């Protein structure tokens, strides 16, 4: 539809632009998909990304201190994301905090940690490699896009070929059955949240590369967009259905939507509302086949 309305939309540059714009969202969505598959929800992306963005920007070459750890700094940021994910998972299985509350709490903790590290002066990165990720291109696409593609691939392999991925499906489908058949479910739940956290950590690093600076708000809005993308792609909020590839398609749809609205020149005063309507319509269309089987909507 957008392709008919705007000739620019069809151009190769715009396709490149859209795929590049999808990179960070794709990584976040990859992480959140695993949690959704289990039938839990994860709202911690914003906080975890903020904390990891600040961590990485303070560990690679920057204007605040003399650190220049390069790849190691990036690794630490991803591990930090992983640790936050663990925290959510532990709160869920040990303290029995519902996942939306546990992850919301962890998000607040992440934002708090990020604000502490921010300390009034924005860290701008000067690390050539990290900045290059957003600027340099390989086969017409930025490095970030290739990283995102790798993440989707890794996510898919995890989901398809590891016990973790298969159990995530099973937990979402019928946790009791799995528990009764002698599987210890709890460690897998924690592991799923940890994997998701690592993806958010990487996403935080990617945003930092794009913006050239560590921002506390690096992840704001990504939690909602990622859940939207996953659901639009066909991953059910009730768990057990969908997957990383579904979600990746959802990401592309969401990005095409936002890009298309700008390209055909919808007034900014209308865009927010129009976008929301289209998302609700798309989700409604996606669940029509399930409506008979699944009559309750929560």
Chain residues that interact with another protein, rule: CB under 8 A: 6, 8, 11, 13-14, 17, 20-21, 115, 118-122, 124, 134-135, 142, 207, 210-213, 215-218, 220, 258-259, 262-263, 265, 268-269, 271
**Of residues 35 and 144, the one with the C-beta less far from another protein:** 144
Smallest gap from Cβ 207 to another protein, in A, equals 7
In sequence order, what E strands does the chain have? 137-138, 141-142
Question: Among candidates 249, 139, 148, which has minimal Cα distance to 207?
Answer: 148
* 113 vs 191 by CB, closer to another protein: 113
Residues contacting residue 61 through CB under 8 Å, at least 6 positions apart: 67, 68, 70, 125, 126, 127, 128
Nearer to another protein, 71 or 262 (CB): 262
Q: State the number of CA atoms in the 13 A half-sphere of 250 facing the CB.
A: 32
Residues 6+ apart with CB under 8 A from 229: 25, 29, 247, 250, 251, 253, 254
- Could you tell me how far CA 100 lies from the centroid of its own chain? 16
Q: 10 Å Cβ neighbour count for 72?
A: 12
Q: Closer to another protein at the Cβ: 107 or 210? A: 210
CB of 140 to another protein, least distance (A): 12
Q: Do strands 137-138 and 141-142 pair parallel, antiparallel, or not at all (unpaired)?
A: antiparallel
State in angstroms the smallest separation of the CB of 236 from another protein: 28
**What is each CA distance from 100 to 21, 45, 64, 150, in whole angstroms?**
27, 12, 35, 28
**Closer CB to another protein, 91 or 111, in the complex:** 111
Q: How far apart are the first and last CA of the chain?
A: 32
Q: Which is nearer to another protein, 119 or 277 (CB)?
A: 119
CB 67 to another protein: min, Å: 19
């Amino acid at each position: 539809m957008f392709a008919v309305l705007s000739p620019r939309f069809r151009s190769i540059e715009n396709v490149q632009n859209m795929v590049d714009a999808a990179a960070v969202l794709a990584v976040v969505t990859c992480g959140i998909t695993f949690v959704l598959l289990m039938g839990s929800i994860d709202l911690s992306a914003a906080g975890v990304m903020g904390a990891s963005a600040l961590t990485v920007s303070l560990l690679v070459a920057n204007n605040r201190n003399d650190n220049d750890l390069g790849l190691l700094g990036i690794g630490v940021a991803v591990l930090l994301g992983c640790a936050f994910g663990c925290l959510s998972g532990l709160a869920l299985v040990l303290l029995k905090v519902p996942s939306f509350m546990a992850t919301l709490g962890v998000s607040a903790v992440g934002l708090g940690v990020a604000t502490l590290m921010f300390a009034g002066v924005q860290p701008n990165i000067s690390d050539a490699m990290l900045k290059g990720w957003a600027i340099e291109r390989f086969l017409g696409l930025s490095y970030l896009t290739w990283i995102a593609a790798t993440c989707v691939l890794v996510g898919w392999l995890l989901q398809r070929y590891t016990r973790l991925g298969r159990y995530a499906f099973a937990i979402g489908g019928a946790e009791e059955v799995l528990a009764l058949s002698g599987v210890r479910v709890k460690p897998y739940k924690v592991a799923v949240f940890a994997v998701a956290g690592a993806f958010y950590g990487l996403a935080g690093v990617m945003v930092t590369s794009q913006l050239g600076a560590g921002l506390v708000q690096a992840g704001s809005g990504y939690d909602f967009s990622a859940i939207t993308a996953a659901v639009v792609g066909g991953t059910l909020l009730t768990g057990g259905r969908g997957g990383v590839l579904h979600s990746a398609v959802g990401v592309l749809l969401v990005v095409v939507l936002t890009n298309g609205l700008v390209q055909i020149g919808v007034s900014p005063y209308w865009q927010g509302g129009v976008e929301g309507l289209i998302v609700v319509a798309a989700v409604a269309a996606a669940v029509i086949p399930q409506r008979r089987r699944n009559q309750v909507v929560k």
